[in-house]
């Protein structure tokens, strides 16, 4: 299907106040992301024979969000066309390793094209070239006229287009690749990106680069020599293995460069006849009447109701794609139109008092904490956010650091003002993973009462098979995507504490958390209310959360001297095993080295090779050791050594260290919304997997003790009996 400007969409007027910006969307990237991000939705919920609609629904969310966030006068959504391109003729192995497009995605492409046209966008798919080439041509054509260009894509290849007028954004992770962004991410300026990509290659597209030359080496060479051409001219000067590899690749590099270079001179006269003028790409208003019919055709009854045309009074089931949706249950409410936001940062008492009056009058308040640690037992408040209505939230900074941070209200004074409301069970509160927040408040000697709802548990009950993070819930149910923690704090070794984040951005992030939580609740709670059975389960999960909070808070008493004695005994036995292993092998060696194990087992002792790894190496994994241990003593010693070393390192050495100094107890975290079976998951530390099959493992359990006058009780239930009851 080749869409031209003449049949792109109904002649509806474009927004009159849009800025002179060209917005280009990498449609091929978008549709794959939409397909993999959404569940397996069907036009007829629960009927696998009906048309797949997940990617369509994801595209609706993404395009709506993009149009709201980036006002533009001209816009196009560009897709890869069917058939080969000039790159396939140039290099037959180009993209050869890619899996074929899933049938369920392929069937949604034409409806997605139709949808995007109805949303007011021009759709382009030009044969013989890729979407990147069309985007490159349009972007450079507009930029040459001084028009600002925004390209929405997650494809790093497009970074080579960036200049003073062209910016690449990735809406999925908030990344912005302008000139400074490209330099910071890749270590080279945008005008060197073609040379950079030629050297590094592209694994995704099966384009080889120079062997063993990664981003750091490529950036270093380009900084030193200035360009790929200059580097090639002086390739004889490059020493070592990389120099040899560069010289081996000299004949390939011109072809590689052609493959990674985005064309900026495609003939688009058939598809955009007005070029270089952008008249054919005017962004139009959505055709609401046609959209209504489209939504009904693909089972989006909630969206049809929102489109403004007549729709059934009650939405049809299954808009959420809930695997367990029944035919008589109401559908997910349609994602609401994003409200205007009014976020405040409260740094003086006058602002606090005005906001507090709103909190006191609100029937339900979403409450969120920002802290200095993920360890719930240690976390201290950095700030507090609350939302009282969709789009209306406030942030109270309490412990932000830095000379450029504005004055903040005193922590203890704020907590004194909040305490009566927080501890009043009659004041309904809402949160996302409230058990963590309860610990944070408890660290400040506040017992929060009145938590009526937890959006994480609402999602767990309604859609156990989907992610339950607030980020996922907001994108899935209200079509919103806010700042991420990594946007604010960075990641890895360069991550900064939340307390050091610039206050305006910290406030935006925290207000979004509270606001999104309130809006997600408005979508999920009606679904629970409509199903008596699910509502009962949700109530039980809320009660369980409260019980788990108390269990976590109490912790488990550890007998540290017993653990120390066990650790010493294990250490002695491990040393003994090592000496026995050396004698059996006839030499000392590293018992933890697969390479040395392989050499001793198979080269020196002649043990049979049971299996090989994916790289062709002879495997010495646990399965292999267990089979060899049936006939040979050395593998049996290695297995025992691994088992005891794990027991010592994981439990006898560390458990006492993990006890909180002020309680002398270990406080594990029970994850309530992880296992789809409804089971709890223990972590930090994991107290569920302490070995019981060996005498040493059983002895570790002796270190869990009760204080004087108490005892430890253990209870379990039979899953077999529960399964039998389920069939009665």
Q: Residue 726, preceding bond cis, omega within 30 degrees?
A: no
Rounded to a whole number of angstroms, the CA Rg of the chain reads 31
pLDDT for 365 equals 96
* Mean pLDDT of the chain, nearest integer: 87
Question: Which pLDDT band, with edges at 50, 70 and 90, does 321 fall under?
Answer: very low
Exposed / middle / buried, residue 224 (Cβ in 10 Å: 0-12, 13-18, 19+): exposed
| CA count, 13 A, side-chain hemisphere, 29 | 22
pLDDT digits 0-9 by tens, 337-346: 566 789 999 9
> Would you say residue 30 has pLDDT above 70?
yes
Task: Over range 103-114, report the average pLDDT.
Answer: 91
pLDDT tier at 689 (50, 70, 90 boundaries)? Answer: confident
Q: Who contacts 5 (Cβ-Cβ below 8 Å, separation ≥6)?
A: 122, 271, 272, 273, 274, 280, 281
**Would you state the structure tokens that stand for residue 273, as one six-digit string?**
């006849």
With 80 as the cut, is the pLDDT of residue 654 above it?
A: yes
Structure tokens at 14: 């474009």
Q: How many residues does the chain have?
A: 728
Closest CA to 270 of 147, 134, 151, 144: 134
Give the CATH superfamily of 15-179+263-281: 5'-nuclease (3.40.50.1010)
pLDDT at 313 over 70: no
Residue 238: phi and psi, rounded to 5, are: -75, 125
For residue 299, CA distances in Å to 2, 290, 305, 328, 485 come to 27, 14, 12, 15, 35
Per-residue model confidence (pLDDT) at position 10: 39
The answer for residues whose C-beta is within 8 angstroms of residue 161's C-beta and 6 or more apart is 135, 136, 139, 140, 151, 168, 190, 262, 264
Mean predicted confidence (pLDDT) in 15-39? 81
Query: Given CA atoms 29, 34, 37, 40 in this order, what sign does their dihedral have?
Result: negative
d(CA 639, CA 591): 10
Q: Look at residue 660 in the predicted model and tell me its pLDDT.
A: 82
For domain 342-554, the CATH superfamily is: Ribonuclease H-like superfamily/Ribonuclease H (3.30.420.10)
Would you state the pLDDT for residue 69? Answer: 85
Q: What percent of the chain has pLDDT over 90?
A: 56
SS3 252: coil
Pairwise CA distance, residues 119 & 610, whole Å: 60
Give the residue, 338 or 449, on which the prediction is more confident.
449
CA angle 326, 329, 330 (to 5 degrees): 135
Q: 454 forms bridges with which residues in the sheet?
A: 431
Tens of pLDDT, residue by residue over 228-260, are 999 999 999 998 899 999 999 999 999 999 999
The pairing of strands 342-345 and 392-397 is parallel
Under 8 Å between Cβ of 570 and 647 = yes
Secondary structure string (H, E, C) spanning 645-661: HHHHHHHHCCHHHHCCC
**Mean of pLDDT values over 587-596:** 90
CA angle, 197 then 200 then 201, to 5°: 75
The confidence score (pLDDT) of residue 719 equals 64
Q: Where are the domains of the chain?
A: 15-179+263-281, 342-554, 572-705
The bridge status of strand 429-431 relative to strand 451-454 is: parallel
Residue, of 160 and 677, whose pLDDT is higher: 160
Mean pLDDT of 341-364: 94
Segment 691-714 mean pLDDT = 85
Please tell me the distance from the alpha carbon of residue 304 to that of residue 65, in angstroms, as a whole number: 18
pLDDT exceeds cutoff 50 at 7: no
Measured between alpha carbons, how far is 304 from 315 in angstroms, rounded to an integer? 9
Task: List CB contacts of 676: < 8 A, sequence separation 6 or more.
Answer: 464, 465
Segment among 259-273, 326-340, 575-589, 630-644 with least mean pLDDT: 326-340
Instruction: Report the distance separating Cα 24 and Cα 169, nearest Å.
Output: 10
pLDDT attached to residue 589 = 92
For the cut 70, the answer to whether the pLDDT of residue 721 exceeds it is no
Q: Does the pLDDT value for residue 306 go beyond 80?
A: no
Residue 316 has pLDDT above 70, yes or no: no
257-276 burial: b if 16+ Cβ within 10 Å, else e: bbbbbbbbebebeebbeebe
Of the candidates 355, 425, 404, the one whose C-alpha atom is nearest the C-alpha of residue 384 is: 355
Question: 202 in helix, strand or coil?
Answer: strand
* Dist CA 142 CA 128 (whole Å): 22
Whole-number Å distance between alpha carbons of 225 and 227: 6
Asked if the model's pLDDT at residue 9 lies above 50, the reply is no
By C-alpha distance, which of 464, 455, 475 is closest to 323?
464
728 band by pLDDT with thresholds 50, 70 and 90: low
Q: What is the DSSP annotation of 599-663?
A: IIIIIIS-PPP--B-TTSPBP-SHHHHHHHHTT-HHHHHHHHHHHHHHHIIIIITTHHHHS-TTT
- Domain 572-705: give its CATH superfamily: Taq DNA Polymerase; Chain T, domain 4 (1.20.1060.10)
Rounded CA separation 506/624 (Å)? 52
Q: Output the CA–CA distances (angstroms, integers) from residue 595 to 276, 590, 621, 628, in the order listed.
A: 62, 9, 11, 17
């Amino acid at each position: 299907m080749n869409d031209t400007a003449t049949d792109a969409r109904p002649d509806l007027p474009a927004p009159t106040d849009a800025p002179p910006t060209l917005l280009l969307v990498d449609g091929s990237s978008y549709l794959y992301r939409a397909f993999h991000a959404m569940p397996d939705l069907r036009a007829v919920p629960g009927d696998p024979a009906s048309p797949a609609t997940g990617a369509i629904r994801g595209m609706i969310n993404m395009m709506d969000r993009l149009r709201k966030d980036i006002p533009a006068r001209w816009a196009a959504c560009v897709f890869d066309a069917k058939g080969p391109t000039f790159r396939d003729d140039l290099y037959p192995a180009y993209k050869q390793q890619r899996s074929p497009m899933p049938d369920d995605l392929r069937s949604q492409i034409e409806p997605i094209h139709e949808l995007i046209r109805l949303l007011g966008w021009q759709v382009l798919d030009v044969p013989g070239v890729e979407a990147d080439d069309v985007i490159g041509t349009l972007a450079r054509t507009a930029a040459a006229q001084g028009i600002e260009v925004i390209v929405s894509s997650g494809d790093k290849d497009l970074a080579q287009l960036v200049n003073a007028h062209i910016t690449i954004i990735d809406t999925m992770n908030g990344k912005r690749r302008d000139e400074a962004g490209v330099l910071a991410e890749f270590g080279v300026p945008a005008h060197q990106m073609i040379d950079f990509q030629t050297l590094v290659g592209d694994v995704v597209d099966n384009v080889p680069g120079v062997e063993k030359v990664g981003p750091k080496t490529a950036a270093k060479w380009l900084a030193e020599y200035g360009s790929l051409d200059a580097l090639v001219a002086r390739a004889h000067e490059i020493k070592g293995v990389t120099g040899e590899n560069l010289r081996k690749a000299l004949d390939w590099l011109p072809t590689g460069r052609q493959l990674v270079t985005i064309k900026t001179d495609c003939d688009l006269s058939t598809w955009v006849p007005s070029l270089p003028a952008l008249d054919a790409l005017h962004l139009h208003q959505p055709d609401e009447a046609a959209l209504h019919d489209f939504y009904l055709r693909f089972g989006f009854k909630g969206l049809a109701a929102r489109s403004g045309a007549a729709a059934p009074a009650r939405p049809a089931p299954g808009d959420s794609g809930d695997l367990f949706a029944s035919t008589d249950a109401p559908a997910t409410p349609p994602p609401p139109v994003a409200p205007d936001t009014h976020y405040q940062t409260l740094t003086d008492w006058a602002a606090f008092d005005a906001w507090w009056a709103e909190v006191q009058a609100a029937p339900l308040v979403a409450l969120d904490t920002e802290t200095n640690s993920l360890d719930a037992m240690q976390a201290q408040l950095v700030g507090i956010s609350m939302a009282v209505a969709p789009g209306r939230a406030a942030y109270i900074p309490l412990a932000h650091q830095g000379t450029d941070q504005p004055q903040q209200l005193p922590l203890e004074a704020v907590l004194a003002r909040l305490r009566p409301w927080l501890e009043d069970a009659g004041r309904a509160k809402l949160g996302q993973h409230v058990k963590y927040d309860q610990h944070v408040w408890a660290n400040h000697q506040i017992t929060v009462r009145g938590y009526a709802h937890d959006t994480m548990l609402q999602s767990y009950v309604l859609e156990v098979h989907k992610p339950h993070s607030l980020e996922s819930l907001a994108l899935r149910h209200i079509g919103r995507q806010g700042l991420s923690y990594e946007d604010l704090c960075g990641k890895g070794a360069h991550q900064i504490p939340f307390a050091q984040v610039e206050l305006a951005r910290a406030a935006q992030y925290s207000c979004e958390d509270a606001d999104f939580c309130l809006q997600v609740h408005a979508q999920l709670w009606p679904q629970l209310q409509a199903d008596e059975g699910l509502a009962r389960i949700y109530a039980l999960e809320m009660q369980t959360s409260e019980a788990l909070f108390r269990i976590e808070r109490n912790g488990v008493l550890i007998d540290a001297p017993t653990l120390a004695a066990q650790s010493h005994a294990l250490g002695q036995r491990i040393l003994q095993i090592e000496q026995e292993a050396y004698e059996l092998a006839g030499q000392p060696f590293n018992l933890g080295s697969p390479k040395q194990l392989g050499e001793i087992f198979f080269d020196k002792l002649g043990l049979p090779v049971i299996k090989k790894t994916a790289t062709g190496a002879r495997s010495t994994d646990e399965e292999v050791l267990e089979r060899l241990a049936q006939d040979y003593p050395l593998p049996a010693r290695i297995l025992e050594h691994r088992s005891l070393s794990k027991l010592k390192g994981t439990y006898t050495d560390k458990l006492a260290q993990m006890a909180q100094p002020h309680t002398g107890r270990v406080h594990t975290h029970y994850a309530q919304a992880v296992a789809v079976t409804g089971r709890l998951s223990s972590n930090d530390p994991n107290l569920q997997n302490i070995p019981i099959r060996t005498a040493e493992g059983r002895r570790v359990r002796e270190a869990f003790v009760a204080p004087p006058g108490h005892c430890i009780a253990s209870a379990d239930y039979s899953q077999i009996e529960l399964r039998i009851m389920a069939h009665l």
